[in-house]
Amino acid sequence: NAGVTQTPKFQVLKTGQSMTLQCAQDMNHEYMSWYRQDPGMGLRLIHYSVGAGITDQGEVPNGYNVSRSTTEDFPLRLLSAAPSQTSVYFCASSQTYQGYEQYFGPGTRLTVT
Amino acid sequence: GDSVTQMEGPVTLSEEAFLTINCTYTATGYPSLFWYVQYPGEGLQLLLKATKADDKGSNKGFEATYRKETTSFHLEKGSVQVSDSAVYFCALSVQMSGGGADGLTFGKGTHLIIQP
């Protein structure tokens, strides 16, 4: 099993550009989520999904879209990149949510200039 | 809302010292509690967890006990090694009344540095 994979590993965008961060898991997990990590802020939940076709907002959803068309994939779309979105983005998955270990991907480091 | 407060570092210790990283929480429901570790340049890995009051999670010599009365989940290790140098995150998840949960709420992380 590859676990949780994320692409790209690094990305530089100009303000106003759009892009999609890819996330895939091969563990047949129901629950997937996206976090951003900023210095001194810990990790904050952007969006999450409890199954294919179901998504919901987390703590900091503005400027991001998600969809879950399959169990395996959970892409994160930046609609119009802003410097405030410079961060490290982590995707995570778990068998379900309460009490189960979340498996994290290696992260995508995004810089918006 | 739910929140996690943990001591912020960096925390610098000598090898073989005793480690405590404090973590307290506020939650509206009955949370599960976690400690995650992040090594440089990597994602987060689960270190240990506890899902109900008085449970003790343990792994790789680390321990933490879920204390409902003090709303705490302090991480301890009796003798740290240089390889324990990393950032440690305390986190919680709360099951919603409808059965769902909206992910993990993290503390800000504690950077631990172990000197030989």
What is the structure's pLDDT at A35?
95
End-to-end CA distance of chain B: 41
Q: What is the pLDDT of residues B9-51, one digit of tens each?
A: 899 999 999 999 999 999 987 888 999 999 988 889 999 999 8
The answer, yes or no, to whether residue B95 has pLDDT greater than 80, is no
Distance from CA of B115 to the nearest CA of A (A): 23
Q: Which residues does chain B have within 8 Å of residue A61's beta carbon, measured at their own beta carbons? A: none
Looking up tokens 């779309």 gives A77
CB-CB under 8 Å, A43 with B46: no
- Could you tell me the CA-to-CA distances from B46 to A112, B36, B37 in Å, in that order? 30, 4, 6
Nearest chain B Cα to A50, which residue?
A: B100
CB-CB under 8 Å, A98 with B104: no
What is the structure's pLDDT at A88?
96
Encoded tokens for A106: 């290696």
Pairing of the two strands B110-115 and B11-14: parallel
What is the structure's pLDDT at B33?
93
Q: Omega before A61 cis (within 30°)? A: no
Specify the higher pLDDT residue, A15 or B100.
A15
Neighbour order of strands in the sheet with A64-66: A4-7, A19-25, A76-78, A64-66
Confidence of residue A11 (pLDDT cuts 50, 70, 90): very high
Encoded tokens for B77: 């290790």
What is the structure's pLDDT at A41?
83
Q: What is the pLDDT of residues B59-93, one digit of tens each?
A: 999 999 999 999 999 999 999 999 999 999 999 98
The answer, yes or no, to whether residue B104 has pLDDT greater than 80, is yes
Other beta carbons within 10 Å of B30: 12
Q: Which residues does chain A have within 8 Å of residue B94's beta carbon, measured at their own beta carbons? A: 98
Strand partners, A79: none
The answer, yes or no, to whether residue A47 has pLDDT greater than 80, is yes
Single out the residue of A9, A1, A73, A84 nearest to residue A41, CA to CA. A84
The answer, yes or no, to whether residue B100 has pLDDT greater than 80, is no
**Which of A46, A90, A98 to probe the B interface (max B CBs under 10 A)?**
A98
Q: Which residues does chain B have within 8 Å of residue A104's beta carbon, measured at their own beta carbons? A: 36, 43-45
Residues whose CB falls within 8 Å of the CB of residue B69, separated by 6 or more in sequence, listed in order: none
Per-residue three-class SS string for B9-40: CCEEEECCCCEEECEEEECCCCEEEEEEEECC
Average confidence (pLDDT) over A70-91: 97
Confidence of residue A102 (pLDDT cuts 50, 70, 90): confident
What is the structure's pLDDT at B98?
52
The answer, yes or no, to whether residue A103 has pLDDT greater than 60, is yes
Encoded tokens for B55: 């449970």
Question: What does the alpha-carbon distance between residue B61 and residue B44 come to, in Å, rounded to a whole number?
Answer: 18
Q: Which residues does chain B have within 8 Å of residue A45's beta carbon, measured at their own beta carbons? A: 102-105
| A contact set with B (CB within 8 A) | 4, 33, 35, 40-45, 48, 50, 56, 58, 90, 92, 97-99, 101-102, 104-107
**Angle of CA points B105, B107, B109, to nearest 5°:** 135
Per-residue three-class SS string for A2-31: CCEEEECCEEEECCCCCEEEEEEECCCCCE
